[in-house]
Structure 1
Amino acid sequence: MNPGVGTGMEQETAPPQRSEAAAQGTLDRMRQWLRRAAGSDGHERHTLLLIGKSTLAACVAWAISYHLMKAQSPAFAPFSAVLMMQVTVYQSVAQSLRYVGAVSAGVALQGVLGFLAGPDLLTFALVALAALAIGRWSALGSQGSQVATAAFFAFSTYIAAAGTADRFAQLGQIIVLVLIGCGVGVLVNLAVLPPMRYRSAEYGVRTLAHSLCDLVGDMYPALREGELDGERTGHWRQRAAQTESIVHQARTAVRTAKESVYYNPRRLLRRHQGDTSFSGYGALVDALERVSFQLASVTRSLERWDDGDSSPQGREFLRCFGDFLASVGVITRLLSEVDEGRLAEQARELCAQSREAQKCHRRLTEGAEQGLLPLTDHSRPYGILLADASRLMDELQYTCDVLQQCVERETADPAP
């Protein structure tokens, strides 16, 4: 048998096999995605719900604009309806108001300039210039770009109309269609399983605390063993710097959770309104942000440990600092498991662990003083690390106090 023929047959059959494997892998991932959507109230289920509600809103808006109104440009209504399907009812209402304002400004701009200058290229240039300038108005927010979009569509509608009366009628119809689409979008979002994000605030705090817990969990074993090098400490510093983006995500999660309550009828089905919890979660994010700053300072100070201090006093200092960070890791782990239904119990656990961390911090400070370490030598990191540890302990204690105050407010003023 010719070896070349066998090789050619293998080359011809290999691509279909790889294609089948890739297709099977895609199907498996799709099935897993659907199982997650069916099994938990997470991102996958929210995505399916948004797709279904957007489809319903588009169909209703199209039926009204095309079948009932016989509009010449019926697509404005379903486009507006889908655009208004925001993550919360509050955002749907707020964005619909901005969107209607932006579209009305663009259409009115075209109507005035078209009437004064006529439908020619110079008019289009003036419309584009004015629309893009108005779109920069901060009050329109993210909908500012719709001023130019509406003006351009209005211009094409304006020049296609037969007479002046028909032109203004078509421009007015655009605004009516946008109003219908926005109204349909908001009503569908309000009436069909309006999105609630009570848990997103909790999730944001958990994610932030978990990232800090992971960082501390990598640091304290190395400190206990005295295994420090420039590559490891540099990696810690980079990870600490990355927590800034996680803090921003946590703030967004808390804000979304709070907004999901506004104008939402599903809040009436819950016993707790959640306002106090949201303020508590916001305060927790603020406190954890300051903790992340102090941890970043610790990593920068540890990066200065570049002389490989192998003295018994230096190794003992690192071991005690590792013990202190281990107690910090327990606190961040507890915060990464925060649960609205167990806040009182978790607050007690955090207070108890905070007292343990205080003991570790005192042993660290006393050991450094008794070990005759050069604490005042600014070229060595001992004094700086002790100062970082003190500030970190203060921020952790404040974080525990914030959670305790949140629990006390809930107990003193329970929601109806």
Structure 2
Amino acid sequence: MAGEVSGRRTPPALPGRMARVRRWWGRALGSEGHERSTVLLIAKGTLAATIAWVISFHLLHAQSPAFAPFSAVLIMQVTVYQSLLQSSRYVGAVVAGVAVQAALGFLVGPDVLTFALVAVVALTIGRWPALGSQGSQVATAAFFAFSTYVSATSTLDKSTQLGQIVLLVLIGCGIGILVNVTVLPPLRYRSAEHGIRTLAHALCDLVSDIYPALRERGLDEERTGRWRARAEQTGELVTQARTGLRMARESLHYNPRRLFRRGRAATHFEGYTAVMEALERTLRQVAALTRSLDKWSADEDRYRYGDFLAGYADFLESLSRITRVFADLDEDRLGDQTSQLHQLADQAQNCRRRLAEQAERDHLPLTDPGRPYGVLVIEAARLMEEFQYTCDVLQHHVER
């Protein structure tokens, strides 16, 4: 009975896993994304490693042929630019490590003291900032070179084997770069779009929570406190968005595919950069808005100036429509989306003007620091300015 109960409560794991595998491969084959990038990187790494092995083992008959495929895979970065950057650092690190071993080995001899000296010097050189993440390869190369040096039987053989290590690394890096450049070099346009979408979603969700409460005059300390906390916790999203944009821009450098993609000019990234920076500033403006609302506890004002709050709710609702378009930003539909954004921006401008007129009719205490009206009016103007600027700059880069 216990086994039956256990059997009923624990469904077979294999069908579920197979379904997840099928979905994963469906995403990899059906659309651009992380899954397809993973499959492509594995395939290119396999191709580069195989070619490097054939050359080093079958053609050169090297004693340490694994250096070539290892190097080919090591510098198979996501972007062509990173492949070139990391390969130059890696080759520099290997040359430095082999040079340290050659100098100390021939001067002192193959003993324990020499190994200790090699380790000290190699680890010290590896701290050089110019080598970046490849700094550890100085010591790795030096240790492999020491092993090769010790096993060699003559001075000529020692020199030949040390030089062969550098040659194999150069062959591996060259093959890795060649494969990465010629076999579907990655273009990360979608990374930039994803970063903007993430920020726009966060902004849209927050604004969409605020304007109904303003319209219903449902401002309480708990609710405004949550808004303020959410607005102040967007720093990580901003960092992720910047990383995505950096990868997208980086993928253009030295990438031959950019020459064959119609309608995807590099200038679009300038527009994406402006959009992202404007969204960051807008998030800060909304954060200031939530702080003002969080400090406001004059309950009677909500009813006395209810028309103003309703007008402010209409204004924020108009902004939320703009953020929804940004949250669905797609380069293939950028022309239509920019036209839609301008229409929505005009509607938001009208809402802001009506809000300013309502503030004049109600004779709001704009100069009273204990009440939020002055800050709310100023923030409305700043928010509208940022959104209008964002729509304009995106339109400008689409038309270029």
TM > 0.5 fold call:
yes
Alignment of 1:269-280 (within 5 A): 269-272=260-263, 274-280=265-271
**Which amino acid is 1:89 matched to?**
V
Alignment check: 8 A CA contact 1:88 1:260 kept: yes
**Which amino acid is 1:40 matched to?**
S
- Could you give the per-residue CA deviations for residues 167-196 of structure 1, whole angstroms, max 9, x where no partner exists? 332221111111111111111112222222
**Which amino acid is 1:358 matched to?**
Q
Could you tell which deviates more after superposition, 300-309 or 323-332? 300-309
Alignment check: 8 A CA contact 1:291 1:395 kept: yes
Alignment check: 8 A CA contact 2:302 2:309 kept: no
2:170 aligned with 1:213: no
| C-alpha deviation, 1:81, in angstroms | 0.8
Residue of structure 2 aligned with 1:113, choices 104, 108, 121 = 104
Alignment check: 8 A CA contact 1:309 1:315 kept: no
**Which amino acid is 1:329 matched to?**
S
Alignment of 1:244-393 (within 5 A): 244-272=235-263, 274-306=265-297, 308-309=299-300, 311-393=302-384
What SS does the aligned partner of 2:65 have? coil
Match of 1:236 in 2: 227
Calculate the aligned-residue CA RMSD, in Å.
2.4
**Which amino acid is 1:302 matched to?**
L
Which runs of no fewer than 5 residues in structure 2 stay unpaired? none
2:162 aligned with 1:174: no
Match of 1:133 in 2: 124
2:40 aligned with 1:49: yes
Aligned length, in residue pairs: 400
Match of 1:413 in 2: none
Could you tell which deviates more after superposition, 296-305 or 17-26? 17-26
What is the distance in 2 between the residues matched to 1:323 and 1:382? Answer: 16
2:139 aligned with 1:122: no
Match of 1:33 in 2: 24
Could you tell which deviates more after superposition, 131-140 or 54-63? 131-140
Match of 2:54 in 1: 63
Alignment check: 8 A CA contact 2:197 2:327 kept: yes
Which runs of no fewer than 5 residues in structure 1 stay unpaired? 1-5, 411-416
Q: Label 1:170 to 1:45 Cα distance change in 2 as closer, same or farther (>3 A).
A: same
Q: Label 1:108 to 1:224 Cα distance change in 2 as closer, same or farther (>3 A).
A: same
- Could you give the per-residue CA deviations for residues 216-255 of structure 1, whole angstroms, max 9, x where no partner exists? 1222112222222333323323332333333333333333
Match of 1:414 in 2: none
**Which amino acid is 1:242 matched to?**
Q
Alignment check: 8 A CA contact 1:76 1:174 kept: yes
**Which amino acid is 1:166 matched to?**
D
Q: Label 1:73 to 1:221 Cα distance change in 2 as closer, same or farther (>3 A).
A: same
Match of 2:13 in 1: 22
**Which amino acid is 1:93 matched to?**
L
- Could you give the per-residue CA deviations for residues 317-372 of structure 1, whole angstroms, max 9, x where no partner exists? 43322221111111111222333344333323222222221222223233234334
Match of 1:3 in 2: none
**Which amino acid is 2:168 matched to?**
L
What is the distance in 2 between the residues matched to 1:345 and 1:147? Answer: 53
| C-alpha deviation, 1:32, in angstroms | 1.1
| C-alpha deviation, 1:287, in angstroms | 1.7
Alignment check: 8 A CA contact 2:49 2:69 kept: yes
Could you tell which deviates more after superposition, 15-24 or 361-370? 15-24
Q: Label 1:230 to 1:156 Cα distance change in 2 as closer, same or farther (>3 A).
A: farther
| C-alpha deviation, 1:48, in angstroms | 1.0
Q: Label 1:296 to 1:153 Cα distance change in 2 as closer, same or farther (>3 A).
A: farther
Match of 1:84 in 2: 75
Q: Label 1:60 to 1:14 Cα distance change in 2 as closer, same or farther (>3 A).
A: farther
What SS does the aligned partner of 1:263 have? coil
Q: Label 1:66 to 1:309 Cα distance change in 2 as closer, same or farther (>3 A).
A: farther
**Which amino acid is 1:356 matched to?**
Q
Q: Label 1:234 to 1:349 Cα distance change in 2 as closer, same or farther (>3 A).
A: same
Could you tell which deviates more after superposition, 26-35 or 126-135? 126-135
| C-alpha deviation, 1:67, in angstroms | 2.2
Q: Percent identity?
A: 61
Q: Label 1:242 to 1:118 Cα distance change in 2 as closer, same or farther (>3 A).
A: farther
Alignment check: 8 A CA contact 1:198 1:274 kept: no
What is the distance in 1 between the residues matched to 2:300 and 2:17? Answer: 53
In the superposition, the TM-score normalised over structure 1's length comes to: 0.88
- Could you give the per-residue CA deviations for residues 365-396 of structure 1, whole angstroms, max 9, x where no partner exists? 33234334432222332222222222212111
What is the distance in 2 between the residues matched to 1:227 and 1:149? Answer: 64
In the superposition, the TM-score normalised over structure 2's length comes to: 0.91
